[in-house]
Amino acid sequence: MISTTEFENLLSKSESSLLDFKRDFYDFNNKPNESAKFIKDIISFSNTIRNETSFIIFGIKEKTDGELDLIGLENKEDDAILQERARHKIYPKANFKYYTLKFKERLFAILEFPVTKYDKPLSPTEKMKGLEPGKFYFRNGTSNTEATGMESIRINEWLNDLPNLKNGKSISNKISDLIIKLSKKEEKLSIVISEILSFAKENNWSEIVQFCTVQLKGIRYKTDYNSSYRDHKILGSLLRVEFESNPFINATPARLRSELNENKDFYKTQITFTQSLIKLEEYIERFEQTSGVAMTVEERNTKQLSRFDMDAPFYIYCLEEDYKTVYNNIRQKTIDLLMEK
């Protein structure tokens, strides 16, 4: 995100292949061709040969004399929605940022296109007005233009010659490396997800940033966040059974499962495992250090469960395999999210 000083500096420049001023934001709801304009802008700015970040600034009208009319915008879009609009319509996945900035009591929107080393020039994945799948587009002066054969070659050569990311990998290769790390299970999930969080922030992947943050912090009750991958059926009871003073208790798997399943005071109940990744890992490590099979006993409230119409303590009994199942579900969900990139 640029600063106010950097914004003022952009206002002092004229429109070019790296800068475009637009009076209004894309009217997706009322103009059928606005999606095509949006996609073409992203592709064209991303494919333009350059050595610095390029921008589209909304809320500004350039007059015929070159002066700028700082009109501003009434409403703002959401970055996550724009990322989703572009996700399946452009290949490779475009790296762009959207945000708003308040300047002189007016709101302006900005699309920012950092120089990114793609595996190949960006192109549309479907036919839209002014766009053909497999063709390349770039900025030629102040216009979006279809690249000729030689222009396509030059854009491709420019991308190949760009410096790699700090870790020596393209975005695509980095994602592949992270997926491999997750599948090998050689590192703690909390460590890999911390790395993914940092990488997602660099690329402005808001959905993955939120996901990783939730895993590292844990889930709070009464949240709108979709955490179904953390849901798991466990055994619970309105009664607290004291196996030992230590909440980690030892028994055989057959005995624990059999006795609790057959006991009429125990219920199979689906709950959300709200613990942070580090806490889940602590539980699993303690289980592995315990001879036999371990179980935890945790008190919750019946208000948190849909099957009871009362307000009373409810005790959940979780075996080692319950924690490992949820832990692996989080791992798979992480892989699924990365596969969409």
**Residue 341, token pair as written in the block:** 């990139």
Torsion sign across C-alpha atoms 308, 312, 318, 322: positive
Residue 21 contacts by C-beta under 8 Å, 6 or more apart in sequence?
A: 15, 56, 57, 60, 61, 62, 68
Separation of alpha carbons 23 and 10, rounded Å: 16
CA distance 187 to 235: 30
Q: Consecutive sets of 10 residues in the chain, 341 residues long: mean pLDDT of each? A: 91 91 94 94 96 95 84 90 92 93 94 93 95 95 93 93 63 86 92 94 86 92 76 84 54 64 78 92 88 74 66 84 91 90 75
The CA-based dihedral angle spanning residues 15, 20, 23, 27, taken in that order and rounded to the nearest 10 degrees: 160
How many other CB atoms sit within 10 Å of the CB of residue 121?
A: 22
Where are the chain's structural domains? 4-161, 171-224+333-339, 228-321
Q: Which residues pair with 231 in a beta bridge?
A: 272
Cα distance between residue 270 and residue 278, in whole Å: 22
* CA gap 194, 178 in Å, rounded: 11
Q: b/e for 140-175, b at 16 or more Cβ within 10 A?
A: eeeebebbeeebbeebbebbeeeeeeeeeebbeebb
Please report how many Cα atoms fall inside a 13 Å half-sphere around the Cα of residue 60, on the Cβ side: 26
> Which string of b and e fits 176-203 if b means at least 16 CB within 10 Å?
eebbebbeeeeeebbebbeebbebbeeb
Q: What is the 3-state secondary structure (H, E, C) of 148-163?
A: CHHHHHHHHHHHHHCC
- Fold topology of 4-161: 3.30.950
Other CB atoms closer than 10 Å to residue 19's CB: what's the count?
17
Give the number of residues written for the chain.
Answer: 341
pLDDT number for residue 167: 44
Give the Cβ contact number of residue 283 at 10 Å.
20
Pairing of strands 313-319, 266-272: unpaired
The CA–CA distances, whole Å, from 11 to 4, 23, 63, 123, 259 equal 11, 14, 13, 30, 73
Whether the CB-CB separation of 27 and 33 falls below 8 Å is answered with no
Nearest to 179 by CA among 196, 166, 197, 165: 196
Residue 114: CB atoms within 10 A of its CB come to: 14
